Amino acid sequence: MASQRGEGETTATPLEPADRERARAIPEAAVARLAVYLRVLSGMADQGVTAVSSEELSQAAGVNAAKLRKDLSYIGSYGTRGVGYDVEVLVSHIERILGLTRNHSVAVVGIGNLGHALANYGGFPGRGFPVTALFDVDADLIGVPVGGIPVNHIDEITAVCLEREVSIGVIATPPPAAQSVCDRLVSAGVQCILNFAPVVLQVPDNVEVRKVDLAVEMQILSFHVARRADEAASVSNGNNGLGVDGMVIRP
Amino acid sequence: MASQRGEGETTATPLEPADRERARAIPEAAVARLAVYLRVLSGMADQGVTAVSSEELSQAAGVNAAKLRKDLSYIGSYGTRGVGYDVEVLVSHIERILGLTRNHSVAVVGIGNLGHALANYGGFPGRGFPVTALFDVDADLIGVPVGGIPVNHIDEITAVCLEREVSIGVIATPPPAAQSVCDRLVSAGVQCILNFAPVVLQVPDNVEVRKVDLAVEMQILSFHVARRADEAASVSNGNNGLGVDGMVIRP
DNA sequence: TACCGCTTGTGAACGCATGCACAAAGTCGG
DNA sequence: CCGACTTTGTGCATGCGTTCACAAGCGGTA
Ligand SMILES: NC(=O)c1ccc[n+]([C@@H]2O[C@H](COP(=O)([O-])OP(=O)(O)OC[C@H]3O[C@@H](n4cnc5c(N)ncnc54)[C@H](O)[C@@H]3O)[C@@H](O)[C@H]2O)c1
Ligand SMILES: NC(=O)c1ccc[n+]([C@@H]2O[C@H](COP(=O)([O-])OP(=O)(O)OC[C@H]3O[C@@H](n4cnc5c(N)ncnc54)[C@H](O)[C@@H]3O)[C@@H](O)[C@H]2O)c1
């Protein structure tokens, strides 16, 4: 059953039983890719494209075509064999599965360098993630509007989060404060947390945490540089596996 | 630590053939975790801890102990049975495998909200990733120092990157500019790119790209909220506006 | 209507990552 | 010096995710 998009229903669109079972079975990795497909498809829709094949879409999303079709199959069969997919239809179904038919209010905690950038960022509201609350401990910041939202004191976190129905908490405080901020978000009823502080957060089972760790990203890149440089070196000097277990000999 | 130039100084240890083969075999997922272990271990070292067991370390890093040991086994056998691992030894071996014995200069392109935050961030230099170059197109920004580094015009990217031996390029421009910026970084010889713009970059095989996509992260969280809300609804069998735990689901 | 060419959807094979369980290898107390 | 205890390192089984390959299904065409 093909539904239309952008329906301003007040109640969150419930998934049908069949969809619900499917949603439970979607691999985490596929969910991440579905979000990417959604963005590509939205871009296509904006440019007036109405139909797309798995080959075209997979190219635009940078993945294998078979993988894309399998990912889409997790949410149902909405393509037409011999033709491809209707862009609008696909967009609306991915949105539904990802729970984007409902708005998700976001609270940012820690309005420093990163917090300011996040609060000022215009890309979230347009995608259904309005930033509706900001928190910090710094007295100089309290009451100051950032990106149009005044900063609240962290002590008000429970009241404000409940009042504004915050469903996603973003942690952008220094590492030592992160766990305590996390605990406060959790007791304020926030069940989803995006953590920028380089610490491992402890949370109850019913809370979902995702972390963005730039230092780790850089170190992974570093690993690949090193590996590459090393491969190049081994090609140029043809050194084989002799001299095991020795200290490094330098000329 | 380590000199700017990657010649085999005392600290910039080249990998031995045995290690090189190992490095090639380390699963990507394990590399990411090694970076996490490294941070945890560094923190322990700072607090004067000299030895640690796989159990303790795995707890602190938030992973399974067996997985941790397997990850460490990819880089060699540096533990002592019955005792555990020497923190310093482990740190130095992980650093070596990740290529952190050498400094990696970072260039940030697009000094807007996010670019400012990155340029001002003090956490990178301390970990061997000094930000040494900033680029933008905005005439008002050129020459202005951000985080101590003056902003250069994007047209100078090749000359500046070569001169300062930039090995990692960070893209923080608006999406439409990202691919062109990426191409310019690549022709400037940069082989590692960290991309914050929500676009799929096309690069040659010898260039490594990692992307940080906040919208995707939020949508993954959204998916889990939806799934959870839905489970709750199916349990309470006949949605009355209340979910589990007394959490109110928006009417 | 019947055929043809194209694209989807998916069963099955494969490969990678995770977790278990235990022998090997070390320490420490007696 | 020995034996008990602790913790590592890893072979193996299991499960998840990716890729392949092709039958099924649809639109267009004669
Ligand atoms: N800036 C970056 O580019 C960057 C990059 C990678 C990681 N990070 C991480 O992101 C986090 C934030 O970085 P930043 O550069 O914005 O730091 P920052 O120091 O600029 O800002 C931190 C803010 O958090 C506030 N704060 C401190 N304790 C708090 C508490 N208990 N409750 C609420 N607010 C509190 C401070 O008042 C400050 O405004 C850090 O953990 C950092 O490691 C930042
Ligand atoms: N700010 C955030 O919190 C946030 C969050 C998620 C994603 N992003 C993404 O990160 C990127 C940057 O976001 P932002 O908020 O900092 O944007 P911004 O508009 O504040 O800054 C962009 C900067 O890039 C510069 N620029 C434009 N074209 C350029 C070019 N061709 N070469 C060099 N510089 C150029 C602009 O002059 C500007 O200074 C965007 O792609 C955005 O989607 C940002």
Q: In this complex, which of A31, A60, A123 lies closest to B223 when CB atoms are compared?
A: A31
Give yes or no for a contact between A57 and A41, defined as CB atoms under 8 angstroms apart: yes
In a domain, residue B232? The reply is no
Q: What digits encode the pLDDT tens for the residues A50-70?
A: 999 999 999 999 999 999 999
- Between helix B87-97 and helix B17-25 the angle, nearest 10°, is 80
In a domain, residue A8? The reply is no
> Where is the domain boundary, B77, B97, B117?
B97
Q: What digits encode the pLDDT tens for the residues B139-151?
A: 999 999 999 999 9
Q: Rounded to an integer, what distance in angstroms lies between the CA atom of residue B197 and that of residue B133?
A: 19
Q: Specify whether B118 is located in the same domain as B181.
A: yes
Q: Specify whether B92 is located in the same domain as B134.
A: no
A232 pLDDT tier (thresholds 50, 70, 90): confident
Which residue is nearest to the C1' sugar atom of D16, using CA? A27
| Residue B28 near chain A (CB below 8 Å) | yes
Q: What digits encode the pLDDT tens for the residues A91-128?
A: 999 999 999 999 999 999 999 999 999 999 988 877 89
Whole-number pLDDT of residue A20: 58
Whole-number pLDDT of residue B176: 97
Give the best residue of B33, B223, B245 to mutate against chain A (max A CB count within 10 A): B223
Of B132, B136, B190, nearest in space to B158 by CA: B190
Vertex B117 angle, CA B112 and B122, to 5°: 150
Give the best residue of B34, B227, B231, B249 to mutate against chain A (max A CB count within 10 A): B227
Q: Specify whether A60 is located in the same domain as A122.
A: no
Mean pLDDT in residue range A16-44: 84
Q: Rounded to an integer, what distance in angstroms lies between the CA atom of residue A83 and that of residue A1?
A: 19
Q: Measure B119 CA to ligand 2 centroid, in angstroms.
A: 13
Q: Specify whether A120 is located in the same domain as A185.
A: yes
Pick left, alpha or beta for residue B170 (phi over 0 → left; psi -120 to 50 → alpha; otherwise beta): beta
Q: Specify whether B86 is located in the same domain as B112.
A: no
Q: Specify whether A67 is located in the same domain as A155.
A: no
Q: Rounded to an integer, what distance in angstroms lies between the CA atom of residue B214 and that of residue A108?
A: 13
| Residue A21 near chain B (CB below 8 Å) | no
In terms of DSSP bridges, do strands B192-195 and B208-211 run parallel, antiparallel, or are they unpaired?
parallel
Whole-number pLDDT of residue A6: 31
Give yes or no for a contact between A35 and B238, defined as CB atoms under 8 angstroms apart: no
The count of domains in chain A is 2
Q: Which of A185, A194, A196, A216 to mutate to test the pocket of ligand 1 (most atoms within 8 A of CB)?
A: A196
Total-model pTM: 0.89
| Residue B218 near chain A (CB below 8 Å) | yes
A27 strand D contact, CB < 7 Å: yes
The reply to whether residue B98 touches residue A222, judged by beta carbons under 8 angstroms, is yes
Q: What digits encode the pLDDT tens for the residues B169-208?
A: 999 999 999 999 999 999 999 999 999 999 999 999 999 9
Q: Specify whether B195 is located in the same domain as B110.
A: yes
Rounded to the nearest integer, the mean pLDDT of chain B is: 86
Q: In this complex, which of B40, B118, B218 lies closest to A129 when CB atoms are compared?
A: B218
Report residue A19 CA to chain centroid gap: 22
Q: Specify whether B83 is located in the same domain as B175.
A: no
| Residue A234 near chain B (CB below 8 Å) | yes
Q: How far is the CA of B215 from the C1' of D17 (A)?
A: 23
Q: Measure A174 CA to ligand 1 centroid, in angstroms.
A: 4
In a domain, residue A68? The reply is yes
Range of the domain at B110: 105-214
Q: Which of B196, B200, B213, B214 to mutate to test the pocket of ligand 2 (most atoms within 8 A of CB)?
A: B196
Q: In this complex, which of A32, A116, A206 lies closest to B216 when CB atoms are compared?
A: A32
In a domain, residue B160? The reply is yes
CB crowding B209-221: b at 16 or more within 10 Å, else e: bbbbbbbbbbbbb
Q: Specify whether A208 is located in the same domain as A112.
A: yes
In a domain, residue B247? The reply is no
The end-to-end CA distance of chain B, in Å, is 58
In a domain, residue A124? The reply is yes
Q: Specify whether A136 is located in the same domain as A175.
A: yes
Q: Tell whether ligand 1 has an atom less than 6 A from the beta carbon of residue A165.
A: no
A210 strand C contact, CB < 7 Å: no
Whole-number pLDDT of residue A18: 59
In a domain, residue A194? The reply is yes
Alpha helices (runs of H) in chain A, residue ranges in sequence order: 17-25, 28-46, 54-61, 65-75, 87-97, 113-120, 157-163, 175-187, 214-237
How many percent of chain A have pLDDT more than 70? 83
Of A134, A72, A130, A135, nearest in space to A103 by CA: A130
B119 pLDDT tier (thresholds 50, 70, 90): very high
Q: In this complex, which of A116, A121, A219 lies closest to B100 when CB atoms are compared?
A: A219
Q: Specify whether A93 is located in the same domain as A170.
A: no
B72 strand D contact, CB < 7 Å: yes
Please give the backbone phi and psi of residue A133, each rounded to the nearest 5 degrees, phi first.
-155, 140
Of B225, B223, B199, nearest in space to B212 by CA: B199
Q: Specify whether A79 is located in the same domain as A123.
A: no
Vertex B187 angle, CA B186 and B191, to 5°: 30
Q: How far is the CA of B20 from the C1' of C26 (A)?
A: 28
Q: In this structure, what CATH number is given to the domain that contains residue A178?
A: 3.40.50.720
pLDDT at B49 over 80: yes
The reply to whether residue A217 touches residue B194, judged by beta carbons under 8 angstroms, is yes
What residues are paired with B131 via a beta bridge?
A: B106
CB crowding A62-81: b at 16 or more within 10 Å, else e: ebeeeebeebbeebeeebee
Q: Rounded to an integer, what distance in angstroms lies between the CA atom of residue A243 and that of residue B20?
A: 13
Considering only CB atoms, which chain A residues are within 8 Å of B23? 223, 226-227, 230
The reply to whether residue A36 touches residue B168, judged by beta carbons under 8 angstroms, is no
What residues are paired with A195 via a beta bridge?
A: A171, A211
In a domain, residue A197? The reply is yes
Amino acid at position A236, single letter: S
